[in-house]
Amino acid sequence: MCGIIGYLGQRPALPILIEGLKRLEYRGYDSAGVALLEPSGLEVIKEKGKIFVLERILNGRSFSATAGVAHTRWATHGAPTQVNAHPHLDTTGDLAVVHNGIIENYQFLRRYLSEQGVAFRTDTDTEVLAMLISHYYDGDLELAVRRALSIVEGTYGIAVVHRKHPREIVGARNGSPMLVGIGEDEYFLASDVAAVLAHTRQVIYLDDHEMVHLKDGTMHTKTVTDEKVTKSVHEVTWDLESIEKGGFSHFMLKEIFEQPATIRDSFRGRLLPDEGKAKLGGLIHNMEELRHLDRIIFLACGTSWHAAMIGEYMIERLARIPVEVEYASEFRYRNPIISDETIAWAISQSGETLDTLAALREAKTKGALALGICNVVGSTIARESDGGVYIHAGPEIGVASTKAFTSQVTVLAIITLLLGRMRNMSKDQGQELVNELQAIPEKVERILAMDECIRKIAAFYAESNNFLYLGRGINYPVALEGALKLKEISYVHAEGYPAAEMKHGPIALIDEKMPVVFVSPRGGSNQKILGNMEEVKARGGRIIAVVNEGDKAATDLADHVIPIPETVEYLSPLLTVIPLQLLAYHIAIIRGCNVDQPRNLAKSVTVE
């Protein structure tokens, strides 16, 4: 989704801003622009399309500005056009604003400003904000921003510059992440740490209703109601290498191949093999509540929601605690019933997904203990939770989530162990979980070694326009995830279904043009799935089967088999999902799709 980078220092601003924008590309966008505080005045250059289009326009022009702001826009209000791209200017052209989020009362504000004679040029809510700040401006930029924000409703992460304040940038946040990167004699203002990592690892994170005023080598933080706030400086542990492709053709492929390491990072130091137990430092202050909880509600969206469903199977089966999995967007609006012993547990790679954050806040208001499972350290959900667990997957740049999913499932297995051992789980069962989990990375390696075979299967089916993914039990969410991966990056219609439900509808779709992917490792429901395979076969459907090595019955029925190593059933999603990620990746590549930046999608969805 939209990205912001601002720079105030001694170096030429433009290359820093463009490089920052490129680091934000992965979030998804449809136009880009910069505002530079040139000695001659404010220069705003913006264009629809990718950053290289903007660069082409900038080529051959020279700029000496050492301060400026830039933006990648993911259209919400108004089409993705040059005019609607950010930065947006006020009527005088002196003030420029870049903005992430949505100004909800922009219609009202627009009417009010129009009555004052303000003429608008765009359809965007952001232009209203620029005009409003300008309306309040009487020589003090920070005060003007503060006044404007006091009547704005909605979400924003903003950066504001003004021709008459060439050494100043004012930033603010409400609901859309903003951070300040602190360099030597320079400051960066950004919506995502990836944009500043090439320059500094020292950051402060703004909280909601907070502003920052950068002015000539100084930084002041306060609330939008003018109360001074002191922020602590965080050291970012991710390095630059982790946000680069490292020889892979795409971030998604790199991240798929990183999974043996990232799964290991997710459980490193958290398993106690001798006792068959787990320790999770981020939950240390919540142990009493965890012992007495009567229900867990997982709140999540997208891939994280699929991981939550796997968590539900694991926790209910092994720790015997009732679990509900909710789409965060539905949960937040339906007045959920929460007891004092309910834990609301948000799962979010980015830690910024607005629906998940809002659902967590809603649950908190109703008295639930709010916990998080996040990847991005210092993200809003991580900071607003009462406790939680980081998945330690490292930065995930590919829009289609892969390594974060397997790390979420790994962490959910560790949480299952923690909760289970507080209850009925025996030491032997605990040790089995620990041993099996520790063996997973090597098994993932073995599946990754089959990449070329999976690519050939992908080539065979790449022309198909519809896919069905079927699984049962704990592999039903994997079927959903496999179908989502294919949809997201190849734009092929794919549906995930519980295998037994196929006969209640989707069976009508099956013919020789419809590949059906069965996710069926050995375990409780493997035999039953064979029956579903027979049903597909009888109707001329093509079968791709992800099954355990040596599964002769499935191999006989399937057109293509992807054999995977054995593990205990409750950890099998960590293996079954890998070939589905590769299958989706290769189909998308063969179809000529941009896998790292699929159309219309955003990595982190910070609007409702």
- Catalytic residue numbers read 2, 603
* Residue whose C-beta lies closest to ligand G6P: 302
> Closest separation between CB of residue 435 and ligand G6P, Å?
29
Nearer to ligand G6P, 260 or 302 (CB): 302
Contacts of 181 (CB under 8 A, 6+ apart): 187, 188, 189, 190, 193, 195, 196, 199, 200, 202, 203
Sheet holding 493-498, edge to edge: 493-498, 466-471, 515-519, 542-548, 560-564
| Bridge partners (DSSP) listed for residue 411 | none
> Closest separation between CB of residue 392 and ligand G6P, Å?
15
Distance CA(270)–CA(210), nearest Å, equals 35
Give the dihedral of Cα atoms 447, 452, 455, 460; nearest 10 deg: -110
Q: Tell me the residue type at 352.
A: E
- Residues that bind ligand G6P in the complex, under the rule CB under 6 A: 301-304, 348-350, 353, 356, 399-401, 601, 603-605
Distance CA(24)–CA(179), nearest Å, equals 14
Nearer to ligand G6P, 71 or 603 (CB): 603
One DSSP character per residue, 326-393 reads: EEHHHHTTS-----TTEEEEEEESSS--HHHHHHHHHHHHTT-EEEEEESSTT-HHHHHSSEEEE---
For 309, the 3-state DSSP assignment is helix
Kindly list the distances between the CA atom of residue 466 and the CA atoms of 30, 542, 584, 596, in Å, as whole numbers in the listed order: 27, 12, 13, 22
Nearer to ligand G6P, 183 or 395 (CB): 395
* CA-based end-to-end distance of the chain: 12
Of the candidates 510, 280, 217, the one whose C-alpha atom is nearest the C-alpha of residue 412 is 280
> Closest separation between CB of residue 376 and ligand G6P, Å?
8
Distance CA(227)–CA(153), nearest Å, equals 20
> Closest separation between CB of residue 489 and ligand G6P, Å?
10
Chain centroid, CA 523 distance in Å:
32
> Closest separation between CB of residue 260 and ligand G6P, Å?
21
Residues making up the chain, counted from first to last: 608
> Closest separation between CB of residue 507 and ligand G6P, Å?
29
Nearer to ligand G6P, 301 or 369 (CB): 301
Nearer to ligand G6P, 130 or 376 (CB): 376
> Closest separation between CB of residue 302 and ligand G6P, Å?
3
Distance CA(455)–CA(467), nearest Å, equals 16
229: its two tokens: 């706030």
Q: Tell me the residue type at 328.
A: A
528: its two tokens: 């039953």
> Closest separation between CB of residue 303 and ligand G6P, Å?
3
Nearer to ligand G6P, 223 or 329 (CB): 329
Nearer to ligand G6P, 409 or 605 (CB): 605
Nearer to ligand G6P, 462 or 601 (CB): 601
Of the candidates 349, 350, 382, 344, the one whose C-alpha atom is nearest the C-alpha of residue 364 is 344
Nearer to ligand G6P, 149 or 373 (CB): 373
Look-up of token digits 């991005």 = 376
Distance CA(262)–CA(365), nearest Å, equals 34
326: its two tokens: 């909710």
Distance CA(190)–CA(365), nearest Å, equals 30
> Closest separation between CB of residue 42 and ligand G6P, Å?
34
Look-up of token digits 């930084």 = 219
